[in-house]
Structure 1
Amino acid sequence: MQRTCAEIDRILGTDPRFGSADAIAARNTARFRVGLRLLARHHGSHAAEFRRIERLPDDALRRVLYDPVLRNAFERDLNLLTVRPEDPSTLALMLRQSPANDAGFGPCEALMDVHHQPWADLGPAWTWTSTLPEEAHPLLTALGRRRDDVFAEMGADRRVVPDAETLAALTRGARLLAELLPHSGAGALRHVALVGFAEGEEEDGSVHSFACGDRLPSALFLSPEALRDPWKVAELLFHEALHLKMFDIMRTGALVSDIGRMTGTPPWRVVDWNLRRVYSSLHVYGHMVLFFAAAAAAPADLRRRYGEPLAPDSVGMVTPGSAASADGTYTTSEERTRYLAHRALETHADALTPDGRALVTWMLDALEPLLPGVVAPEPSPSRSSAAPSAPARAVEPAESAPAAGYRQCRPVTVLPLAEQGMLLAAAPATHRMHWLNSRAWLVYALCDGRDAARLEQDYHRAAPDDPDGLAVALAALQQAGLIAPVRGSAARKRSAKQEEKEAVKEAVPEGALR
């Protein structure tokens, strides 16, 4: 094997774009801050509260907005800014209803009558232990309603209040996962905010686990019956935490341009999947290939403390009536990874952004020793490195007449992540956020009203290796609604230029014009 499981684990758990929990959390935190600034500007009566939350230290801010109820409200408010901006803010209501506490708990976590963190040294997840009636507090009521929505889809019948034995089994499984895969396994747990327990029956058997998605972000549920074997607990935690990790990744960069495209029915299911589900499942099953390989090669010490690993790669039942149920295929993570890789990279390659293709090819390249010959075609020709890393959404058709220069659209709302070479910028007209890579960031910084000739001269001096990048970035930034053309041949007055420069002073990366 060209790479060991330990080496693959390191690659999948530390890559700064797609693997590192710290890097993904930093981008999510930036998105929270920019989103709160947009909401404060739009909902003036709640501006003080939004600004107070936005100014919290990173860990405290994440405690608030990784709370499943408040994160759902945050995402709802942001989405409504683009479609129904007149609607009231749900997040403001939830913030007003959040209990004050001095223990550092998140809003819903503070309402638990027993406080339990299943892996406190690995991440700030908490366990839904409450025995209080849900009508006892508005946040518990909201949490229960969102849970019911998820349960109705996932086949769960009821929430289970965990006992001490269940909580101990949860922690034991998490410890095993972190020891087996100290980078990708431990890192995936960082994306979990809430662990709950549920029972129920699906069409293909008892509910074992599920992640909750948009309606209850950062949350997963396990069946107490599935917690008897620590290897099974580790498997289920890794599987569901990877779904939550992809949720966070997809919030911090566009990976699929046509996320709702229907792709047909996979052989092990009986309903059509959209491209988002294909992409998310590919991410999970690819990582599970590593999990089963690492479990099979687990050292004697791990086996002595946690028992013998489960049988070789098996990801559970297929749906009755599916094609796979007739011939016994697609029961392993390897089979499903190969199938989904083909769907993503070949059949629907046109719907992946360059970053989306990069994520899949990066993951499959890392896993190649475990998946010899897996479908991983060369990336298709992509846009220049000067384009924004999020797909631009048209605001209005690009102007055909040449511009005398470009200026940043106001009000300017940006937040730099210098350590990742990215700038997060919100378009004033649409309130949509766009992730600019370092080259797009450079072009955006140069759009301060200087004339077109000077803009081109300064760009080529700073980026002589990418002569076509300026035109690509200008078109994408203008389409995204981040810049606008300056008309007329006369140079703008110095005072106007200075005003624009001051407005975006913090957006210019150090050394960008060298």
Structure 2
Amino acid sequence: MTQATSTASPGALPVDELDELLAKHPFGDSDYVTSRLHACYRRRLESIGDRLPLAREVLDALDRADAQTRYRIVGDTVFRCAVQYLHVQIEDEIPYGIPSEHCREILRRAIRNLDAGVPGLLGPELSDHLGTASHYGWVWRDDGPETVVTDAFRDIVAAHYGLTLHTPGDDELAMVAKAVRLLEEVLPKVTRSVLSHTHLLAVFAPVGQWEGTRSSSEYKVSGTIFLNQRTLCNPWALAEHLLHESLHQQLYDLRAGHTLLVPDFARADRPLVHSLWNMPDSTRGNHWDVHRALAAYHVYVYLALFTRAARESDGDRQYTKRYGPIEMTGPRTALARARYLREQIGREQYRRELGPAGHRTVDWLDTVLDVVDPDPQVEESFVHLLLDRFWREASMIRSMASDDTIDAEVRSLIPGLLADEVQCARSALTAIGHDPTSFDQAVETSEAQEPFERFASVRKVIAQTLLDACPRRYELSPARDVDEGVRDMVERSSAVLMKALDR
């Protein structure tokens, strides 16, 4: 959906002040978060030290090492996984992760590198970095030599993801460096802090089930972020995804060293947050547990600041001249999603899923959001979030127009679905006292188009007309009856599309 490019609301703090405040807060301060992460891994090693003397040797080597070497070893994904796997294997006496002997060899490698001042396990076997500063991690190359460390990383990725790793070419590496420079220019202190939690960037090929995934991170593979090869084409989009996934790494490190969640937060009957802007699927992937909702809230608060800062500072086109047109999530979209997630996480059933540090994290993000956006939307409004999904579904359908694999039955659903949506939108306009004449005329002008193209263009008319009709920001009627009617229409249409396309 089209997003306004206006700058900050009156009363919002200057970007440079916010940049510094976020980087200085304990939960945004990379030095503090990293120190607590290291304490966590020390505890894990100590807990198995009596049964695994090698763990004691690692602790001694960590004590002897300089700060930078220690930072890179503990930040290494393979090291973290080896410690965690051994912890489970010894404590629970069950097979877990890669074999015990492989884990032990990784710890022996870690001791040698700590004593030799070699920063990391995977990194020293790679040649490409995210940036030139010492806090920037490496870029994975899948064409490198096979060692116990690289083999372990491939095994970990295969077990948790099953994706195909890609070795970036020179142009793609240059694009990564360009995106990092862009982040440094827009939010220098936040970028320094957040990206220090990303020790490795791995690029995956857009094939199979991963074709439509732009980026990914996982708590059990912390230290590494994964980006789709297709994101390495535009510096703005790439910068957004680098920031997005690195923020997840920051939160993972915070979670490792603090009681962010209650112990059983992942139980089967946990409460789930419905992310209204995401398309439904057969796995109910748009329903998130509280950790995922908190991670998304964390990202959208920072992303709102990044997009605001980029647009505010581009009055003389200093960024667009060097990096091209701004192509990323708009500030209104980021703020709207952040506000919605704040409201959901604030509900009692979700607050109960947070530990002490989780409550403090939410309180901190709430404060930051109020400063970034002192003029928020109407409380608990939701039409705009549904229409975001509504428009993206239309774009997806438009992209299928030339796909011969889409069967006739699916194509036959489109006209009836669109007729229902037009009628619902017209009823909503009438209910709030709007003359639907111009809406009807806009719909009629689309009648001669190819069916999928018409579906997309009419949906755009519906979405924009309903948003423009909101007398208050993103709310159609104070009673919410009209809003609920729009919700029913969008959910009904999404269900039809999901069932038709998920065959």
TM-score, length basis structure 1? 0.62
* Structure ranking higher in strand proportion: 1
Contact 2:303–2:334 under 8 Å retained in 1? yes
What is the letter of the counterpart of residue 131 of structure 1? D
| Partner secondary structure for residue 279 of structure 1 | helix
Q: Select 2:51's aligned residue among 13, 27, 42.
A: 42
- Report the Cα offset of residue 104 of structure 1: 2.5
Q: After the TM superposition, which residues 399-410 of structure 1 pair with which residues of structure 2 at under 5 Å, given as runs?
A: none
Taking the aligned partners of 1:142 and 1:8, their CA distance within structure 2 comes to 40
Name the CA shift for 1:204/1:25 in 2 (closer, same or farther; >3 Å): closer
1:278-303 CA-to-partner distances (Å, cap 9, x unmatched) read 11111112211112111221243333
1:463-510 CA-to-partner distances (Å, cap 9, x unmatched) read xxxxxxxxxxxxxxxxxxxxxxxxxxxxxxxxxxxxxxxxxxxxxxxx
- Report the Cα offset of residue 20 of structure 1: 0.6
What is the letter of the counterpart of residue 358 of structure 1? R
Taking the aligned partners of 2:62 and 2:102, their CA distance within structure 1 comes to 15
In structure 2, the partner of 1:26 is: 35
**Structure 1 vs Structure 2 CA RMSD:** 3.0
In structure 1, the partner of 2:310 is: 295
| Partner secondary structure for residue 237 of structure 1 | helix
Q: After the TM superposition, which residues 224-263 of structure 1 pair with which residues of structure 2 at under 5 Å, given as runs?
A: 224-257=229-262, 258-260=264-266, 261-263=270-272
In structure 1, the partner of 2:222 is: 217
Contact 1:39–1:50 under 8 Å retained in 2? no
Taking the aligned partners of 1:289 and 1:202, their CA distance within structure 2 comes to 32
Taking the aligned partners of 2:111 and 2:50, their CA distance within structure 1 comes to 25
Contact 1:166–1:227 under 8 Å retained in 2? yes
Taking the aligned partners of 1:361 and 1:94, their CA distance within structure 2 comes to 39
Q: Relative CO higher for 1 or 2, CA cutoff 8 Å, sep ≥ 6? A: 2
Taking the aligned partners of 1:148 and 1:109, their CA distance within structure 2 comes to 19
In structure 2, the partner of 1:304 is: 321
* Structure ranking higher in helix proportion: 2
Matched, 1:56 2:56: no
What is the letter of the counterpart of residue 235 of structure 1? E
In structure 2, the partner of 1:145 is: 155
| Partner secondary structure for residue 206 of structure 2 | strand
In structure 1, the partner of 2:337 is: 336
- Report the Cα offset of residue 248 of structure 1: 0.4
Structure 1 stretch displaced more, 223-232 or 172-181: 223-232
Structure 1 stretch displaced more, 349-358 or 32-41: 32-41
Q: After the TM superposition, which residues 363-374 of structure 1 pair with which residues of structure 2 at under 5 Å, given as runs?
A: 363-371=365-373, 372-373=375-376
Taking the aligned partners of 1:22 and 1:45, their CA distance within structure 2 comes to 27
- Report the Cα offset of residue 373 of structure 1: 4.3
Contact 1:69–1:139 under 8 Å retained in 2? yes
| Partner secondary structure for residue 204 of structure 2 | strand
In structure 2, the partner of 1:185 is: 191
Number of residue pairs the alignment of both structures matches: 351
1:176-224 CA-to-partner distances (Å, cap 9, x unmatched) read 111111122231100001011112257796232212331x221012223
- Report the Cα offset of residue 81 of structure 1: 5.6
Q: Select 1:175's aligned residue among 176, 181, 189.
A: 181
- Report the Cα offset of residue 28 of structure 1: 1.7
Taking the aligned partners of 2:37 and 2:192, their CA distance within structure 1 comes to 19
Name the CA shift for 1:245/1:151 in 2 (closer, same or farther; >3 Å): same
1:215-241 CA-to-partner distances (Å, cap 9, x unmatched) read x22101222322222111111100010
| Partner secondary structure for residue 171 of structure 1 | helix
Taking the aligned partners of 1:350 and 1:45, their CA distance within structure 2 comes to 39
Contact 2:297–2:338 under 8 Å retained in 1? yes
Name the CA shift for 1:259/1:205 in 2 (closer, same or farther; >3 Å): same
| Partner secondary structure for residue 231 of structure 2 | helix
Contact 1:368–1:374 under 8 Å retained in 2? no
| Partner secondary structure for residue 41 of structure 1 | coil
Taking the aligned partners of 1:334 and 1:265, their CA distance within structure 2 comes to 17
- Report the Cα offset of residue 311 of structure 1: 5.7
Taking the aligned partners of 1:349 and 1:375, their CA distance within structure 2 comes to 22
Taking the aligned partners of 2:378 and 2:214, their CA distance within structure 1 comes to 30
| Partner secondary structure for residue 42 of structure 1 | coil
Taking the aligned partners of 1:197 and 1:7, their CA distance within structure 2 comes to 34
Name the CA shift for 1:120/1:75 in 2 (closer, same or farther; >3 Å): farther
Matched, 1:127 2:131: no
Q: Select 2:22's aligned residue among 12, 18, 21.
A: 12
In structure 1, the partner of 2:330 is: 313
- Report the Cα offset of residue 312 of structure 1: 5.8
Q: After the TM superposition, which residues 80-91 of structure 1 pair with which residues of structure 2 at under 5 Å, given as runs?
A: 80=89, 82-84=91-93, 91=103
- Report the Cα offset of residue 374 of structure 1: 7.3
Q: After the TM superposition, which residues 451-490 of structure 1 pair with which residues of structure 2 at under 5 Å, given as runs?
A: none
What is the letter of the counterpart of residue 305 of structure 1? R
Name the CA shift for 1:27/1:7 in 2 (closer, same or farther; >3 Å): same
Contact 1:122–1:186 under 8 Å retained in 2? no
- Report the Cα offset of residue 50 of structure 1: 4.2
1:335-394 CA-to-partner distances (Å, cap 9, x unmatched) read 3212221221114122223331221121121121443347999xxxxxxxxxxxxxxxxx
In structure 1, the partner of 2:401 is: none
- Report the Cα offset of residue 98 of structure 1: 5.9
Structure 2: runs of 5+ lacking an equivalent: 1-9, 381-503
| Partner secondary structure for residue 161 of structure 2 | helix
Name the CA shift for 1:361/1:47 in 2 (closer, same or farther; >3 Å): closer
Name the CA shift for 1:30/1:220 in 2 (closer, same or farther; >3 Å): same
In structure 2, the partner of 1:447 is: none
Taking the aligned partners of 1:72 and 1:41, their CA distance within structure 2 comes to 20
Q: After the TM superposition, which residues 371-386 of structure 1 pair with which residues of structure 2 at under 5 Å, given as runs?
A: 371=373, 372-373=375-376
| Partner secondary structure for residue 203 of structure 2 | strand
What is the letter of the counterpart of residue 70 of structure 1? F
What is the letter of the counterpart of residue 181 of structure 1? L
What is the letter of the counterpart of residue 198 of structure 2? V
In structure 1, the partner of 2:442 is: none
Q: After the TM superposition, which residues 399-478 of structure 1 pair with which residues of structure 2 at under 5 Å, given as runs?
A: none
Matched, 1:110 2:115: no
1:424-482 CA-to-partner distances (Å, cap 9, x unmatched) read xxxxxxxxxxxxxxxxxxxxxxxxxxxxxxxxxxxxxxxxxxxxxxxxxxxxxxxxxxx
Structure 1: runs of 5+ lacking an equivalent: 315-330, 378-514
Taking the aligned partners of 1:293 and 1:67, their CA distance within structure 2 comes to 33
- Report the Cα offset of residue 36 of structure 1: 2.9
In structure 1, the partner of 2:214 is: 208
